[in-house]
Every structure is written in C-alpha cells, then in structure tokens.
Amino acid sequence: MDDSIYREQIIDLYENPLNYGELDAPDWSYEEDNPLCGDVVRIEVKLGADGRVTEVAWRGDGCAISQASASILTEEIKGLTLDEVRHFDKDRLLELIGVPLSMARVKCALLSLKVLKAGAYGIPDPTHMREGGS
Amino acid sequence: MLDVTKTRADFPILQVEAHPGVPLIFLDSAASSQKPEVVIAAMDAYYRQMHANVHRGIYALSEAATNAYEGARAKIARFINAAEPAELIFVRNATEGFNLVAFAWGRANLQPGDEILLTEMEHHANLVPWQMVAAEKGAVVKYVPFLPDGTLDMAALPGLLTERVKIFSFTAVSNVFGTVNPVKQLVQMAHEVGALAMVDAAQAAPHLPMDVQDWECDFTAFSSHKMCGPTGIGILYGRRALLETMPPFMGGGDMIRRVTLAGSTWNELPWKFEAGTPAIAEAVGLGTAVEYLTGLGMDEVHAYEQYITTYALEALSEIDGLTLLGPSAQQRGGVAAFTMHGLHPHDIAEIVDKDGIAIRAGHHCAMPLHHKLSINASARASFYIHTTTEEVDKLVMSLHRAKKVFRL
C-alpha cells in the first residue's frame, strides 16, 4: 500500500500548522468551503505600505491535505505584492505540496488558493488607488 | 441465512482489483450499489433483441419494447405492493420524484402560510425541492429534530404536526445514521391532521420488504441504482386519486392525449407524468433487479444486513478514538457512519482506499444533519448482500493503519 501522500511534512503541518490564527484589522479576510466535503478555510492578509503581504493568517477545519496546503501557501505568499498573490500559480502550489494527489484531493489542496485569490480580487489594488491620487 | 458466497458470485465487479494486486472491498452501496450479472444481461439483451421506441410503433418490435417497459413497471409494482402499476411513475431517480411532487402537487396546492414538515435527517433530495417550492408559494418549511442517538424526536412531533401542515415528507431509513423510522406510525400521524405523507424510500427499497399499502403513504420515491438496478431510473409512487388531480410536471411527447395549437390535454396515468422517450433499457434493468432481490427474499436480505451491521458496529466500536453515529443495530439499516479523533474523513477514505476499500467521506448529501452534530463530514461504510465479515475485519485493520500513519 502506497501512503506516499501522507509523507512526514504533511502530517507535521497537520499537527502543527503554520500561520494558524487571526489578524487584527486585516486588509482582507475571506472564507469559503469545499462543497464536496463542507471543509472551510478562512484566510486573512495584511499588506504593508509597499503593497506587499506582511502578515497572513488562516483558520479552518479540514483534511490533512487542505490544512497542509494552507500552511504552505500562507508561508509562500509573505512578501508578495497583491498582483503576485492574484496570479499565484496553482501548479506551483501543487509542486510545493509535492505529493501525488487524485482529482478529488486536488480540490482539497487548492481550496486555500481559491480562498486566497477570491479575497485578493475582492479588494481594490492599493497601488492603483494611490495612482488614482485619492 | 443468505448465502453470501453465492451472492458474491452474482456481482462481476467483485472480481475487479481496486489497485493492481489489491482486491476491491466495496463498502459504499448506500451511495450506489453494484449490479448483478442478471441485470447487466437483461439490459444487454434488451438492446440486442428488443429495442424500439415505446407506445408509438405498430410494428412487432415496438410492441416488444413496450411490453418489456410496461412489464418492468408491473414487476416493480408487485415489489412494493402497489394497488396497480399505473400508480408507478418512471422518473430518473428519487430526487426527480421529490421534485415532481414538490412542483406538480406543491404549486397547485400550497398557499402562503401553509407548512411543509420534513426532518433534520433528510437527504438534500428531500430538502431542497421543498425549500424551492416553499419560497415560490410563501409556504413554511419546518423540521422534526433528531435526538443524539440519531432517532427522531417523537415527542416533538405533535407540536410540529399541526393542521397548517399540508405534507409531511420523511425518510424511511436515514442514509447517515441508518435509522429505520416508524413509517406507518408517521404516516398515520400526518393523516390525522389532514396532511399528506411522502416517504423517502431510497435507503429502504434496497434493504427492507416494502409495502406501500401497509404504509398507507400518499407518495414514495426511490432510485434504481441503489437497489442493484442501473442509474438513470427511479420510481415515484403516488396514490391514483392524488396523481389524477395533479397537473403534469413536464410537457412533451407521450404525456398528451391531444395537442392543438390552442392547447393540450393530458394522457392517462402513469404516462401523464412521463414526457418524452423514457429510459426503456433502464426500466427493464430495474425490473430484473427487483426480480433478483425478490429471488433472494427481502426478509433474507434484511436479516443478512442486520447480521453484518451488528458485526461491523461491534468491531468498529472497539477502535479507540472512533465515534459511531446513529442508533443500535436493531434500529438501523446497513450503514455505519463514524468519525475518528485526529483523522479527517477524507484522510480515512484515502488511506483505506490503498487497501482496496471503498467508503464514503463527506456530508453524504445531508449537510444540515452534520451541521447539527457540529461536524463538517463523516466517514461511512455501508453493507449489502455481498459484504462479508472478512471485509469488515479488513476495514478495521485498515482503520488501525490509518491511525498509525497519523501517529495516533
């Protein structure tokens, strides 16, 4: 039996997730569930004056894959600009997770990215606002 | 008792390997059952020897197809002891049966303020159509709660089942808890306040002897694919007097008596509710499936499931950190839903799959039920006439292995 999807790193992150929690006054906060299973992920992000991600936190309840994915993703986006977050490549996230996933489990793995992007597209781009001079 | 070695030989798919070298252990019959050889062969023979459109041709072949289709209806009518085959409408599945009643009956009969009574343990198929028609007609949907052991709160019923209730629709057997509800008593209570009673028999028809005249229900619906038949077909049963007064659900060919450019009149029962070319081969398949089940004997089927479920509940309850949902084996059908501490149902299902074991993980189309239990999901093993105690043992071993993978 091949349990390679549950390699050490995944179980470690499931037991001790990274960036788990909430932020004070985040620039955006977004939550969505996976209709296949009802799992929920909420991601909150704070941008710095330079428009880059300075703080990020997530909360949720789900399987080892969706939870590990949220830890990995939130680590990875620190320091990225809003535009870079909006264009974060799903294949890059799957590569970072690094375990073979069936189609159903890919949905678990990508739930956090879906939530992150929905939040990122839901707010006005602060650089554009500055350009707008308001 | 049912000879499980014999029934196993009836299901070709049990020869398939889940992964190379790993035999399939199929514990997800509650989602969709596997098909015995006789059903597959009957559909094959229909297409090879009999197919033409039904109720249309004058020629011999069309007559043969019509006889096969209507013959299937008669077999299924006997299987549920309906007063006559015309009370059985071929639909796509139980879901379509509920939609048909919610819309054809509901639109014509519900008034603002009327109440539709359901239970908190319903499958989405018996929730969503009612919510939709209630929103349209200004009716109110109410729910009978369930108790911590997964049985209905019978004490709450009298307060909910008032004269405002126009229809009480409930499941005969819960697809998560496995709870076998007291159908006859619930129907009677509905009738006492002048409400109609509809029974979700999707988890009952495959597993229990069914008698709609004994139940005295007004409507019931079930799906073929959960009872050894093909996908794409199911039955809505309705009492003739009610079906007669209901407007059609869908319009088209076969459901009309006469069509003019000014309007149409409807065909008689059951065809008034069967617009368009039906799923003929699938009806033939379902007809053969009920013959197969009748051959085994539904009392025997039920007794075997009680035996295997009792065995499984005992074996599962010995796993540390595993919590079973639902009542004791005496009160339930062949399903065992559970959660495990520190292990998400998806991960459980993924790990046991590596051992060739197919179980369901998720909310099993019963989100309100899981919400009330404050869980997002559960794992569910379901048993049928081909499940062996050895398969249950393998599930238990595999669950122990899952705990090890997660260092529990």
Q: Domain extents for chain A?
A: 4-122
- What is the pTM for the complete model shown? 0.93
Q: Which residue of A has its CA nearest to B406?
A: A11
Answer whether residue B63 shows pLDDT above 90.
Answer: yes
Cα angle: B205, vertex B210, B215; to 5 degrees: 120
Predicted local distance difference test score (pLDDT) of residue A125: 64
Residue position matching structure tokens 């096969």: B68
B228 carries an active-site annotation: no
Domain map (residue ranges) of chain B: 4-30+297-405, 87-276
As a whole number, the mean pLDDT across chain A is 88
| pLDDT at residue A131 tops 60 | no
Tell me the DSSP string of B234-264: EEEEE-HHHHHHSPPSS-STTSEEEEETTEE
Nearest to B199 by CA among B191, B208, B186, B130: B186
Domain A4-122, CATH: 3.90.1010.10
- With b meaning 16 or more CB within 10 Å and e meaning fewer, what string describes B75-104? bbbebbebeebbbbbbbbbbbbbbbbbbbb
pLDDT of A93 > 60? The answer is yes
B125-138: pLDDT as tens digits: 999 999 999 999 99
Hey, what CATH topology would domain B4-30+297-405 get?
A: Aspartate Aminotransferase, domain 1 (3.90.1150)
The predicted structure's pLDDT at residue A126: 61
The answer on pLDDT for B378 being more than 50 is: yes
Distance CA A46, CA B168 (A): 50
DSSP label of A125: -
Dump pLDDT digits (tens) for B298-339.
Answer: 999 999 999 999 999 999 999 999 999 999 988 999 999 999
Cβ separation B344–A64 shorter than 8 A: yes
Nearest to B354 among A2, A37, A105 (CB): A2
Q: Please answer yes or no on whether A37 and B345 come within 8 Å at the CB atom.
A: yes
CATH class given for the domain over B87-276 = alpha beta
Q: Which residues on B lie below 8 Å from A6 (Cβ)?
A: 347, 351, 405-406
Percent of chain B with pLDDT over 90: 93
Q: From the list B362, B401, B407, which residue is nearest A11 (CB)?
A: B407
Flag whether residue A42 sits within 8 Å of chain B, measured between CB atoms: no
The catalytically annotated residue of B189, B315, B365, B397 is: B365
Unique residue bearing structure tokens 């059952």: B33
Strand, coil or helix: what is A119?
Answer: helix
- Count CB neighbours of B149 within 10 A: 12
pLDDT recorded at residue A128? 57
- Check whether A134 has a pLDDT greater than 60: no
Angle between helices B280-296 and B298-317 (to 10 degrees): 80
Tens digit of each residue's pLDDT (9 = 90 or more) over B280-297: 999 999 999 999 999 999
Cβ–Cβ gap A105/B355 under 8 Å: no
Q: Is the dihedral of CA B320, B323, B328, B333 positive or negative?
A: negative
Cβ-based interface (< 8 Å): residues of B facing A: 22, 344-347, 350-351, 354-355, 361-363, 367, 370, 376-377, 401, 405-407
Q: Select from B178, B189, B172 the least CA-distant residue to B119.
A: B172
pLDDT of the residue at B393: 98
The Cα-based distances of B375 to A40, A60, B149, B350 in angstroms read 11, 12, 15, 19
